Amino acid sequence: MSSITTPPRATSRRGLAMGILIFASFMDLLDVTIVQVALPTIREDLGATPAQLEWIVSGYMLAFAVVLITGGRLGDIVGRQRTFLIGVAGFTLASVVASLSATGDLLVAARVVQGAFAALMVPQGLSTLQALYTPKERAPMYGIIGGVSGLAAVIGPVLGGWLVSADIAGLGWRSIFLLNVPIGIAIFALAARYVPNTKSPNPLRLDILGVVLLSGALLGMLFLNKLPRLHHPLLKNRRFALATHDRYFVVIETSDPKYSETETRKLLETVGSKQIEMVED
């Protein structure tokens, strides 16, 4: 995703282009956090089950994780602007469907679609950054991206709580999804005009089999994490540690009581794992 086909400074408005792409990432991160405070209202309005409420959050993130690498490669092949526009359009339409959902199942489906299209949208930002900026120029942009990520994490719950409690036009929780519609339309129009359609000179092919295998792996880990009390003989009294490293998953399984959760976490941290999920039975 980092290959450069467009010389740095090839566009006189690269700062504006990056601002558009970064704001789209902000919208994605906002959508992850903003929905969590609306879950009680969604439960009351739609009669959603606890499982559906969980999937409203997890389904988005799972679809995003599964499609993310493919989204980046697709941008390298057909063009980052083009892939970004597809992602924004799909994300915005899925937001409309989510806001109109009459059942928990439909809302879950809309959230999964949202996450998948967000995965087409988000990776184009870093790829375009590397195409438009020299290595020495990228550090400030990385700082801005990190700051925007933190800002979204803070603003999301606050904004979501205000929208639900304000009940604007009687929309209630539906307003948190409708918020994406005008923003998505604006981002699409600006990106179509100002974001260059950079590509990779040597793009990697789409790995469909890899997507299928990754989907199965993530679903399997999610199943193990969410249903830890099956009391299956193979799972009894065992601790599983699931962690992500740079390019692979680290899995530790033990029934030895001397390995406490804290000790297992320390072991994984020594190999540089970035995200750790403990599962016990």
**Tens-place pLDDT, residues 65-109:** 888 888 888 888 888 999 999 999 999 999 999 999 999 999 999
Average pLDDT over residues 191-218: 78
Could you report the per-residue pLDDT of 207-229, keeping only the tens digit for each? 777 767 767 776 666 655 554 44
Dihedral pair phi/psi, residue 97, rounded to 5°: -60, -40
Domain contains 85: yes
Question: Is residue 163 scored above 80 in pLDDT?
Answer: yes
| pLDDT tens column, 173-187 | 999 999 999 999 999
Q: φ, ψ for residue 85 (rounded to 5)?
A: -65, -40
Q: What is the pLDDT of residue 153?
A: 84
Residues 45 and 184 in one domain: yes
Domain co-membership, 158 together with 119 = yes
Same domain, 251 and 184: no
Question: What is the reported pLDDT for 167?
Answer: 82
Q: 121: closest CA among 2, 247, 23, 194?
A: 23
Whether residue 4 contacts residue 130, with contact meaning beta carbons closer than 8 Å, is answered with: yes
Paired sense of beta strands 275-280 and 239-244, if any:
antiparallel
User: Does a structural domain hold residue 151?
Assistant: yes
Domain span at residue 256? 228-280
Assess whether 144 and 257 both reside in one domain.
no
- Which of the residue ranges 137-146, 218-227, 240-249 would you say has the lowest mean pLDDT? 240-249
pLDDT above 90: percentage of residues in the chain:
26
127-142: average pLDDT: 86
Q: Which residue has the tokens 């990754």?
A: 214
* Section 140-148 average pLDDT: 87
CA dist 179 → 237, 242, 253 (Å):
46, 35, 43
- For residue 111, the model assigns a pLDDT of 93
Q: What is the mean pLDDT of the chain?
A: 77
Q: Residues 36, 141: one domain?
A: yes
Residues 130 and 92 in one domain: yes
Assigned domain for 223 exists? no
Cα–Cα distance, 230 to 118 (Å, whole number) = 33
Amino acid letter, 252:
I
C-alpha to C-alpha distance for 123 and 119, rounded to whole angstroms? 7
Per the confidence metrics, is the pTM higher than 0.75? no
Based on the structure, what is the number of domains in the chain?
2
* pLDDT at position 224: 57
Residues 6+ apart with CB under 8 A from 197: 79, 80, 81, 82
What local confidence, expressed as pLDDT, does residue 226 receive? 52
For residues 49 and 116, membership in a common domain is answered with yes
> Is residue 190 helix, strand or coil?
helix
Residue 169 has pLDDT above 90, yes or no: no
Are 172 and 68 part of one and the same domain?
yes
Q: Which residues of 256-274 are buried (b: 16+ CB within 10 A; e: fewer)?
A: eeeeeeeebeebbeeeebe
Q: What is the pLDDT of residues 252-266, one digit of tens each?
A: 444 445 445 555 455
Question: Angle between the 80-99 and 180-194 helix axes, to the nearest 10 degrees?
Answer: 170
Asked if the structure places residue 215 within a domain, the reply is: no
Tokens read off for 214 = 């990754």
213 burial via Cβ count (<10 Å: 0-12, 13-18, 19+): exposed
**202 and 117 within one domain:** yes
Check whether 239 has a pLDDT greater than 50. no
Q: Residue 193 pLDDT > 80, yes or no? A: yes
Classify residue 112 as exposed, middle or buried by CB count within 10 Å of its CB (0-12, 13-18, 19+): buried
The answer as to whether 4 is a domain residue is no
Average pLDDT over residues 122-143: 87
